[in-house]
Amino acid sequence: MLFNRYRRGLFIASFLAAPVILYVIYVISPNIQAFYMAMTDWRGVTATPNFIGLDNFQRVLGDSVFWKAVTHNLGLLVLLPAITIIIALFFAYLLNLGGDKGVSGIRGSTFYRVVFFFPQVLAVTIVAVLFQQVFRPDGSGMLNGPLMALGIEPVGFLSNSGIAFWSVLGVLVWQAVGFYVVLFSAGLAGIPRDVFEAAQIDGASRFTLFFRITLPLLWDTVQVAWVYLGILAMDAFAIVWVMTLQQGGPDWSTTVMAAEIYRNAFGYFRFGYASALGVVMFLFTVGFAILSLRLSRRERIEY
């Protein structure tokens, strides 16, 4: 009996050992090293960094640019999931239940499905470069060209520090919506048709159908979408770094935490300090994950 159990343990361990070791080497260890580096003044080129304790974290408190980045991340955290989920739900509803008969999609829904999903296929950097051209501030810009042809002053989508953040948000939403349309469509497909049909026979309006039936039954999927979009909002590095002026500008109006970490490490060669910023970002992200899972916890509806 005991021998068997021992053998079984050994058998399981032999399978787990390799992945656990790899995980420790490539995931856990760099994380621990980042915590250690955050307490040094390492500038990236020497072999012997000095240990300086918590000085870097004290410096973070007075770093006005980093706190601007934090507010942008938090702004995105609220706006990006909310806007994306609302639009994606609306589209998914139309594609699946928006037709005249009530339980089928509107005309051409398979075509729209492909169109909505299209931005997801493009790499983030390509999207960023694409929108640089869309937002270009002179006659060659896709948006400003027509405006200027009409005699309207061009809009500094990326060059006006009051507008740039909203341009970034717009691009992030544009890129994300398609994926969540597909995700919600899959969720909707999992809801038995007869629930909708029964409600319709009882005379439920489309409005009621959406808010009393679709949304509650889709809640699990929405919750997943919220967490994914929250993670995207905490990052947003690639779009900001490639698309915006001065990589987070103009005048720091679009910068995010990840961009400041990169800038401090590879721009200013302050690797220790950048690690401290990384630790702070880590805490923000973990905090968000715990909070969002707690807040959206709900009774699961069985059907």
Q: Mask 6-45, x = binds another protein (CB under 8 A)?
A: ------------------xx--xxx-xxx-xx---xxxxx
Q: Minimum Å distance from CB 174 to another protein?
A: 19
CB closer to another protein, 32 vs 295:
32
Q: Is the dihedral angle over the CA atoms 172, 178, 181, 184 positive or is it negative?
A: negative
Q: Measured between alpha carbons, how far is residue 214 from residues 68, 95, 114, 206, 292 in Å?
A: 38, 13, 23, 10, 21
CB closer to another protein, 36 vs 219:
36
- Residue 125 as a binder of another protein (CB under 8 A): the answer is no
Rounded CA gap, 294 and 104, in Å?
A: 35
- Residue 131 as a binder of another protein (CB under 8 A): the answer is no
Q: Minimum Å distance from CB 244 to another protein?
A: 10
Number of amino acids touching another protein (CB under 8 A): 53
- Residue 174 as a binder of another protein (CB under 8 A): the answer is no
- Residue 208 as a binder of another protein (CB under 8 A): the answer is no
Phi, psi of 277 (to 5 degrees): -60, -40
Q: Minimum Å distance from CB 135 to another protein?
A: 8
Tokens describing residue 170: 């717009």
Rounded CA gap, 81 and 75, in Å?
A: 10
Tokens describing residue 21: 């070791």
Tokens describing residue 67: 């706190």
Q: Cβ(180)–Cβ(129) under 8 Å? A: no
Strand partners of residue 40:
51
Q: Mask 39-78, x = binds another protein (CB under 8 A)?
A: --xxxxxxxxx--x--xx--x--x----------------
Q: Measured between alpha carbons, how far is residue 135 from residues 176, 202, 281 in Å?
A: 19, 49, 30
Q: Mask 262-281, x = binds another protein (CB under 8 A)?
A: -x--xxxxx-xx--------
Chain residues binding another protein by CB under 8 A are 5, 24-25, 28-30, 32-34, 36-37, 41-49, 52, 55-56, 59, 62, 135-138, 141, 144, 148, 154, 156-161, 245-246, 249-252, 263, 266-270, 272-273
